[in-house]
Structure 1
Amino acid sequence: MKKIILNSFVAATILFAASCKPEIETPAGTSAGSANFSKYIAVGNSLTSGFADGGLYLEGQKVAYPNLIAAKMASVGGGSFTSPFFTDAQANGSGYLTLSALVNGTPTLNNVTTNLAYRDATHLTKYTGEVQNLGIPGMRVDLAFSAAYAAVNPYSERLLTDAQLGSTTYFQFIQGRNHTFFSLWLGNNDALGWATNGGVTVDATNVLTDKSTFALLYSNLVNSLTAGGQKGVVGTIPDVTAVPYFNTVTVAALLNAAKAINPAAAAIYIQTGTNTVRPATADDLIRLPFQSAGLFGVANAAGLPYGLHPLNPIANNWVLDKDEVIKVKDYVNSYNSSIKSLASSKGLAVADTYSYLNLVKAGVTIQGIGINSAFITGGAFSLDGIHLTPRGNAVIGNVFIDAINSTYGSAIPTIDITQYRGVKFPN
């Protein structure tokens, strides 16, 4: 996923919700069941790599859900699990966002720019050696078969040798690992890239992957990972509207802010994907970074305030309008149908993150802790509004563990989520 620059926003836009849901149970005993966890590999994108707060950095890498799962697998025959960690000297990796202040509910976010892991202006420091966490930020199912993309993606480029650049795809990169078990959580970006760009396609990273193409290429991935009879777990693709990125800057909040300055303000006007200008409704989702753009209410040359007049509407790229929401949901449902069908045919476990993150959106209580999808305060999502906090990783790790235990009769212990933080607040 792309690095995301976020904005501060008034506390009134942050929703607090919590309702009790059943906790994930841990089977008794210490059995691997019918699975072999001696060498586990994790295939996926930024969520798998530990990307958080708009960047990839050491703390996030260490608490990535595959690392947490692997640590628990150790009690049921799991072996060591290697990740392409940044060094302590370059612990801040690509850089990331921090919360430096929270005053009257308004957050101030800053970019970390020290102790980065760049060998030049655009390339991250190379990592060599064994890798089992194969998560690559930005990776998609369609682009997993592009050697050109693997070479220009800085997160995959750092793991490839010079000889592999331009000739090795991600699909090829994940092969030959001699794994006995795998997790596969890939495909989020095949829908999310388009959605986070407001339903506007600019390049290959923000196109909606064709449904039949997705099904074919995903099956190629699974067939490769199970070629030696290996067992594994696949994750469904979350509903893109379940994340704070689309649920924090609301139409109602913008209109209330406008009315506080001008009581005559009647509507928020948006340009839709069909180039229609109309008043926005609660079904239209405004991207989280909109406030930091500094556009709202600014008058154009004709003196018309941005977003508050039909002749100066909020541009389409800032809004996932209601028709685009319907479209992306349809694609995600199709992708998930393909994933579940293939998993069933192969006898693989399915971690239904789609369903679970929709529960989190409403609010859940896990191990005595309330978690929801509110920006900053919800505990599950980091400061970019899309990726997981350490606690969110622990929660998702348990969803994967629960699916593995249920399918293979194993007894991997679940993760104690109380040991992991949500968003780090300033001292």
Structure 2
Amino acid sequence: MNTKYIWLLTILLGFSACNTPEDILKDFNIDPQTGAELPELVMGSADFSNYVALGGSFTAGFTDNALFIASQENSFPNILSKEFAKVGGGDFTQPLMSDNFGGLALSGNRLPGFDPRLVFGGAGPVPLESVIGQVTVTTDLTSNPTGPFKNLGVPGAKSFHLLGNGYGNIANFPAAANPYAIRLTGTTPDASVLELAMAQSPTFFTLSEIGGNDVLGFALSGGDGSNVITPSAGSVGVGFDATFTYLVSALTSTGAKGVVTNVPYITDLPHFTTVPYNPIPLDAATAGFLNSASAYGAYNAGIVQAFAYLVSVSAISQDDADAEIVKRTINFEASSNNAVVIMDESLTDLTGINPALASMRQATADDLFVLTASSFIGTEAIPGNPQTVNGVAVPLADKWVLIPSEQQTIKEATDAYNNTIAAVANSNENVALVDLKGILAELASTGITFNNYTLNASLVTGGAVGLDGVHLTARGYAYMANKFLEAIDAEFGSNFVASGNVAKAGDYPTNYSPLLQ
């Protein structure tokens, strides 16, 4: 037997009480799965000694609708920093929250919209406090860590926000400052996120999911106009193209190398694919009432009359009128799977002919509903009045649903962003590109094998996406970190993957216990 392996066997026997065999094999560059000898780790042409991460929620480690200590420790940049440390990477500081509850406070008062995290309640996501009772949120914006921080991920930040001076100044909150950015700026409250990064003279950077929040806000609001998509064209700090180009140019201006990602189709996320379009159960009597002349029967008749008038005045063709009448006709059945009624602003406005003819229709499989609609559909607009059920007697407003035209708007913006990202990455030898769009598409279609686990984009059970339906689990972030390492190996000549210096799926959870504090 080779002398090396005799000594290895001796060490395995002698230290098995305090070290796992996998750890010992790895120390000797042996793949625990195959027994093959692995090459020594080499760093390639990149300098990882001063790594800084910029981005949005994914970079920060946001999951389960909150940011908390454990999620930050399992952020993909922190996972990367552990591998970088093996080839000279320095300390990776993060603006750690004060607890594992999540949520934010200001002068002891909770900030609305920044609540403690979600947990699994047995059937689906539920608020932490519904399981363990009321908690005290201890992360207060009046007492922030001072930095400087290597993780500059800001949940909710759009591309241009990274250049915004004052975006982290508490004096500008809530009108023009982000609470997570406030926790980053320390003694320089008006410094932009990019300025915070450049002040640290990074030798390596990641610029991740830039552009994601630029379309996500529109999607989360159902495309109702309250949160617009950042245009591609425009100047630095206004349009995505110029802003992204400027960010990469600045970060590489002193010779630093880095990795950027493209933007996934966010409508593949379970936040938009979990709620069915047809969740309404009705018996024959209720369906009959809804179809009667005293309910939607009158509406259906009015639609036919209105389009007959429009055809008569040549405002619309008969074929187009017939098609829209079919689309707008509302009909319920004795079934457990009736489609909800929604408002659709893309329909012909008939209120000038008849004020009672709102632009509504029943949903189809082509419509996508935000995850929060699951707790709204079926409730009563007027408590105690069963004739005001939301999604049945009362149409769902625009904010609850993404109709096909809104989905197309998101896709077109995403494609435009990704064209710019690819062009910038391909033209700069100091930049590698991670295909985040392809990763999410694979998760949503076939699933991904990660060590001995299969990840997919299903809510709760998929293992990749957290309980808010948008952000990744710790295991999902570990997989993402490995895709960064693959890109770094390919672009800069390192061998993290080939040498086995990557994150292992089993080391990272898919959910956090309600008891984690």
Displacement after TM superposition at 1:375 (Å): 0.8
Q: 1:302 to 1:422 in 2, by over 3 A?
A: closer
Contact 1:117 1:125 in 2 (8 A): no
Q: 1:209 to 1:371 in 2, by over 3 A?
A: same
Are 1:330 and 2:412 an aligned pair? yes
Letter of the 2:150 counterpart: Q
Give the 3-state SS of the residue equivalent to 1:404 in structure 2: helix
1:402 maps to which of 486, 497, 501: 486
Please name the residue that 1:22 is paired with.
none
Are 1:96 and 2:107 an aligned pair? no
Are 1:117 and 2:200 an aligned pair? no
Please name the residue that 2:211 is paired with.
187
Displacement after TM superposition at 1:259 (Å): 6.4
Query: Highest CA radius of gyration, 1 or 2?
Result: 2
Cα distance in 2 between the residues matched to 1:258 and 1:107: 26
Percent identity between matched residues is 32
Question: Which range is displaced more, 35-44 or 146-155?
Answer: 146-155
2:196 maps to which of 149, 157, 173: 173
Q: 1:313 to 1:182 in 2, by over 3 A?
A: same
Describe the superposition over 1:347-380 as per-residue Cα deviations: whole angstroms up to 9, x where unpaired. Answer: 2110111101110112122212011111111111
Give the 3-state SS of the residue equivalent to 2:167 in structure 1: helix
Question: Which range is displaced more, 353-362 or 144-153?
Answer: 144-153
Cα distance in 2 between the residues matched to 1:409 and 1:273: 52
Contact 1:194 1:208 in 2 (8 A): yes
Letter of the 1:421 counterpart: P
Describe the superposition over 1:228-276 as per-residue Cα deviations: whole angstroms up to 9, x where unpaired. Answer: 1111100111211121100110113x14x45698553653221124363
Cα distance in 2 between the residues matched to 1:313 and 1:394: 41
Displacement after TM superposition at 1:299 (Å): 6.2
Cα distance in 2 between the residues matched to 1:145 and 1:77: 30
Are 1:240 and 2:260 an aligned pair? no
Contact 2:65 2:118 in 1 (8 A): no
Cα distance in 2 between the residues matched to 1:134 and 1:227: 19
Displacement after TM superposition at 1:101 (Å): 2.9
Please name the residue that 1:36 is paired with.
47
Please name the residue that 1:12 is paired with.
none
Please name the residue that 1:208 is paired with.
229
Describe the superposition over 1:204-227 as per-residue Cα deviations: whole angstroms up to 9, x where unpaired. Answer: xx2200012101001110011001
1:250 maps to which of 276, 283, 292: 276
Please name the residue that 1:10 is paired with.
none
Letter of the 2:202 counterpart: H
Give the 3-state SS of the residue equivalent to 2:121 in structure 1: strand
Please name the residue that 1:359 is paired with.
442
Are 1:419 and 2:503 an aligned pair? no
- 5+ residue gaps, structure 2, are 1-36, 104-114, 170-176, 234-238, 288-332, 348-358
Please name the residue that 1:147 is paired with.
165
1:268 maps to which of 340, 343, 352: 340
Cα distance in 2 between the residues matched to 1:409 and 1:259: 65
Displacement after TM superposition at 1:130 (Å): 2.8
Question: Which range is displaced more, 415-424 or 261-270?
Answer: 261-270
Question: Which range is displaced more, 91-100 or 327-336?
Answer: 91-100
Question: Which range is displaced more, 271-280 or 378-387?
Answer: 271-280
Cα distance in 2 between the residues matched to 1:422 and 1:366: 13
Letter of the 1:101 counterpart: G
Displacement after TM superposition at 1:395 (Å): 0.9
Q: 1:191 to 1:108 in 2, by over 3 A?
A: closer
Give the 3-state SS of the residue equivalent to 1:423 in structure 2: coil
- Report which structure shows greater RCO (CA 8 Å, sep ≥6): 1
Letter of the 2:86 counterpart: S
Please name the residue that 2:111 is paired with.
none
Letter of the 1:127 counterpart: P
Displacement after TM superposition at 1:59 (Å): 0.4
1:158 maps to which of 179, 183, 186: 183
Contact 2:265 2:437 in 1 (8 A): yes
Count of equivalent residues? 385
1:379 maps to which of 442, 446, 463: 463
Cα distance in 1 between the residues matched to 2:56 and 2:512: 23
